[in-house]
Amino acid sequence: MKLSENWLREWVNPAATIEQIAERLVMGGLELEIEPAVAGRATQVVVAKIVEAERHPQADRLQVCKVDAGTGALLQIVCGAPNARPGIKVPCAVVGATLPGGMQIGEAKLRGVESFGMLCSASELGLAEKSDGLVELEADARIGMSIDDYFDLDDHILNLEITPNRGDCLSVVGLARDISALYGVPLKRPTPQQTVVEGHEQIKVEIESVDDCPSYVGRVITKLNAKARTPDWMRERLRRSGIRSIHPVVDITNYVMLELGQPMHAFDAGKLSGNIRVRRARDGESLQLLNEQTVECRDRELLISDDGGPIALAGVMGGLDSGVQAGTTRIFFESACFAPTAVAGTGRRHKLFSDASYRYERGVDPALQRQALERATQLVLQICGGETHPVTQAGRSQPEPVNVRVRRSRIDQVLGHEIPAKDVETLLGRLGIALRAEVGDAWMARVPSHRYDLRIEADLIEEVGRLYGYDRIPARPYQAQLAPSQRAEAARPLIAVKQHLAARGWQEAISLAFVEPGLQTALDPQAAAIALDNPIADNLSVMRTTLWAGLIPAWLYNRARQQDRVRLFEAGVCFALDNGSVVETSRLAGLAAGRALPEQWGSANRPVDFYDLKAEVVSLFGNAAADYRFEAAEHPALHPGRCARIVRGDQACGWIGELHPKLVGTLDLPEAPLLFELDWTTLRSVGVPKAAALSEFPSSRRDLAVVVAESVSGEQLLTCARQAAGELLSEALIFDIYRGTGLKTGEKSVALGLLFNNVSRTLTLSEIDTAASAVTQALTRELNAVIRQ
């Protein structure tokens, strides 16, 4: 939200610079920045009147104007603006002026005609990014007056980022209230003029549920001047608040919203049929909005309707058919309070974002509607004229009071500093909070209706600390005594795993938990993804079920920026549905693509393969590496012959493999990356390291070549050998695999290395032969292996 400093100082004017006020507001919990009213200030630009305008003799699109700039003599200025005509008042940069951007104005000759100055558009003065013609000023603008003074450009803009709980600050009066409380200076409250009711026309209002709409007031105003123009001072204040001038009545509703914080809407009363009703949507209803978007009303959304059907999406946007247009002479003003729960989500469901819904979702003062209506009526009569009619009111006349009990002892305990009771009463009193002393050290506080965020004792304590000044509360040592906890030796922290991967050349990626649904479906088609009701973007509309859905886009982003060798890992939470409940699973995943090794002279350039990635994954297992197995299995997103399921004991804990060729084509990827994903709960436990004695006795090795079917994995061979050899076998390994001449199709020859050792004695030849024989028999019996001679 943006607000003008000069507008703000009309309500509260502490003896402080704007920088000091901004710093005080930041310390009071409001985030903001200071911006200039215009990007650059012009010099020697004054109000001038075009007295004569004739076509340029050498150019059809130029006019030679005689201009009264208050210099005592008419200036001849050549102008190409389409709206330059006699009788209008416009900004004029005289000879010697400087425009924003540094442009100097001097005497010039355009197509043979001398020109002594320049008539200015809004963009040339820095008042707009683009404009179609000259700025047309009010008829009563004083000729010769500086444009700086006319537009009050000696100003600053406060650009505020309001937190969701401080909806009361989304207006000039709301921010002024906070400044008044922070500085302890009085708040100026302009007294609105009493409206004289001349007519008797009323439109009845019915509210279906006062919980959805606690208060609704409206008024008919007729005989408006359809040719009225929004005055420059209002246009400029709206511009500085980031709102474009549209129509005098619409501008007034926006002005009142910025000034008082009450969103308003104006209906063309001539287009309304019957009474106004505030109700929930019915099945099949639709509405064409002011932005010409047609929405299907659903989920019992709150609507404003007449006898003919919906005319507005309550608290969000009005309907096109009943909107105010250039020829409107009869209007019905709406000033309502809609409950945050009744409006929240409606705009996001339809991808509509309005200033009104932004305020209603945070809470609008339920006692403000009548005051805002009177202020809007006053401005309409001032700008458009017209005849006023009686106010129609529905809902609660007064909001229900909110009382909160607050204890002085609790204030001291929470803030860690003793604040005198008199100061507490003074500070809360600045916010309009009335305190009534109770027995003991407590007060009963009555919260003003505009403070939606003050509902419990802690809220009031926060206000005391905020107004007292957190910088005045001295720092003290913590009084709590916390015993340091010791991490279990068998469990390792996540940071240790991250450091391990980083040391091996991997880089951590942090991606959003929201992912593109098509990519996720391709990677994890069996999982039920959770769709978001309000996605931040169309391509981020589901919760991730696999970390790969974030790693692949991150890899493509880096590869497009000449990073051919990529090693990315991510630790995060994945989400899935289980019988209607959301289940969160912590996982660790990685992606490898490009060369196996950095470019160098010592090794040939080859792409990373399955076994490179497997070595990285095995290194993560640490002391528990022997507990993990890699089993051949099929995953819908991985290459059928180049993937494996990772198992620990009887529990499947992850996958590793190369992306499926079909997905590489479907997703239009430049190559097939290698991926792994592990369940963090199974990876976290590494076991306690155990000391083992080094044998002083020699080892004996037996090499064994066996012919087995292609379907037999190396893991099966090693497991079978270890189980059959018993305690004498210290190590089993595969050192060669052969396929080719001498073997049948579907067979392979695997060479096993068996190392036998004992830590207490030298093994005999008989013991070694017996163990080796047991291995060959087990391989033959269990895996149909044939000893290769």
Encoded amino acid at 617, one letter: V
Mean pLDDT value of segment 656-676: 93
Question: What superfamily would CATH give domain 43-150?
Answer: Nucleic acid-binding proteins (2.40.50.140)
C-alpha 752/C-alpha 706 separation (Å) is 8
Nearest to 217 by CA among 332, 324, 113, 296: 332
Mean pLDDT value of segment 151-164: 90
Nearest to 158 by CA among 27, 34, 26: 34
Contact 427, 411 (CB under 8 A): no
Contact 266, 246 (CB under 8 A): no
Please give, one letter per residue, the 3-state secondary structure of 513-526. CEECHHHHHHHCCC
Instruction: Tell me the pLDDT tens digit for each residue of 409-419.
Output: 999 989 988 99
Q: For the domain bounded by 700-787, which CATH number is listed?
A: 3.30.70.380
Report pLDDT for 390.
94
C-alpha 669/C-alpha 60 separation (Å) is 58
C-alpha 37/C-alpha 39 separation (Å) is 7
Q: Which residues contact 7 (CB under 8 A, 6 or more apart)?
A: 172, 237, 240, 259
Helices 457-468, 421-430: crossing angle, 10 deg rounding: 90
Please give, one letter per residue, the 3-state secondary structure of 380-410. HHHHCCCEEEEEEEEECCCCCCEEEEEEHHH
Q: Is the pLDDT of residue 575 over 90?
A: yes
Report pLDDT for 492.
85
Run of H or E residues at 640: strand 638-648
pLDDT band for 523, please (50, 70, 90 cuts): very high
C-alpha 430/C-alpha 443 separation (Å) is 16
**Three-class SS state of 779:** helix
C-alpha 699/C-alpha 217 separation (Å) is 96
Contact 213, 280 (CB under 8 A): no
Q: Can you tell me which residue has the tokens 């040939």?
A: 604
Report pLDDT for 468.
92
DSSP codes, 220-274: EEES--TT----HHHHHHHHHTT-----HHHHHHHHHHHHHS--EEEEEGGG--S
**Three-class SS state of 136:** coil
Q: Confirm whether residue 578 is marked as ligand binding.
A: no
C-alpha 464/C-alpha 423 separation (Å) is 9
Q: Confirm whether residue 677 is marked as ligand binding.
A: no
Instruction: Tell me the pLDDT tens digit for each residue of 284-333.
Output: 888 999 988 888 887 778 999 999 899 999 999 999 999 999 889 999 99
Instruction: Tell me the pLDDT tens digit for each residue of 104-122.
Output: 999 988 888 999 999 999 8
**Three-class SS state of 488:** coil
Encoded amino acid at 691, one letter: A
Q: Can you tell me which residue has the tokens 């026309």?
A: 201
Report pLDDT for 192.
67
Q: Can you tell me which residue has the tokens 């963009």?
A: 123
CATH topology of domain 494-684: BirA Bifunctional Protein; domain 2 (3.30.930)
Nearest to 552 by CA among 520, 584, 527, 517: 520
Adjacency order of strands within the sheet including 118-119? 75-79, 59-68, 43-56, 89-98, 118-119
Same fold for the pair 2-37+155-183 and 402-469: yes
C-alpha 671/C-alpha 659 separation (Å) is 9
Report pLDDT for 300.
79
**Three-class SS state of 59:** strand
Q: Can you tell me which residue has the tokens 């104006």?
A: 266
Nearest to 198 by CA among 221, 226, 218: 221
Half-sphere exposure of 111 (CA within 13 A, CB side): 14
Produce one character per residue of 512-538: b if its CB has 16 or more CB atoms within 10 Å, e if not. ebbbbbebbebbbeebebeeeeeeeee
Run of H or E residues at 259: helix 248-260
Instruction: Tell me the pLDDT tens digit for each residue of 585-633.
Output: 999 999 999 999 988 888 888 999 999 999 999 999 888 888 888 988 8
Report pLDDT for 713.
87
Backbone angles phi, psi at 365, to 5 degrees: -55, 120
Q: Confirm whether residue 679 is marked as ligand binding.
A: no
Domain boundaries, the chain: 2-37+155-183, 43-150, 205-395, 402-469, 494-684, 700-787
Residue 47: both structure tokens together? 């109000």
Backbone angles phi, psi at 661, to 5 degrees: -55, -35
CA of residue 101 relative to chain centroid, distance: 34
Q: Which CATH class is domain 402-469?
A: alpha beta
Contact 362, 263 (CB under 8 A): no
Encoded amino acid at 655, one letter: W
Nearest to 165 by CA among 535, 470, 445, 462: 462
Q: Confirm whether residue 268 is marked as ligand binding.
A: no
C-alpha 616/C-alpha 645 separation (Å) is 15
Nearest to 25 by CA among 43, 1, 48, 60: 1
Run of H or E residues at 178: helix 172-183
Mean pLDDT value of segment 9-21: 93
Burial tier of 343 (Cβ tally within 10 Å: 0-12, 13-18, 19+): buried
Q: Is the pLDDT of residue 480 over 80?
A: no
**Three-class SS state of 512:** coil
Run of H or E residues at 88: none
Encoded amino acid at 13, one letter: N
Contact 288, 202 (CB under 8 A): no
C-alpha 262/C-alpha 335 separation (Å) is 7
Question: What superfamily would CATH give domain 205-395?
Answer: Phenylalanyl-trna Synthetase, Chain B, domain 3 (3.50.40.10)
Query: Can you give the C-alpha Rg of the chain in angstroms?
Result: 39
Nearest to 267 by CA among 206, 312, 308, 298: 312
Mean pLDDT, rounded, of the chain: 90
- Sign of the torsion formed by the C-alpha atoms of 17, 20, 24 and 30: positive
Question: How many other C-beta atoms lie within 10 A of the C-beta of residue 442?
Answer: 17
C-alpha 122/C-alpha 45 separation (Å) is 12
Nearest to 522 by CA among 548, 555, 540: 548
Instruction: Tell me the pLDDT tens digit for each residue of 700-739.
Output: 999 999 999 988 888 889 989 999 998 899 999 999 999 9
C-alpha 489/C-alpha 483 separation (Å) is 18
Q: Which CATH class is domain 2-37+155-183?
A: alpha beta
Burial tier of 95 (Cβ tally within 10 Å: 0-12, 13-18, 19+): middle
pTM above 0.75, yes or no: no
State how beta strands 331-337 and 215-222 pair.
Answer: antiparallel
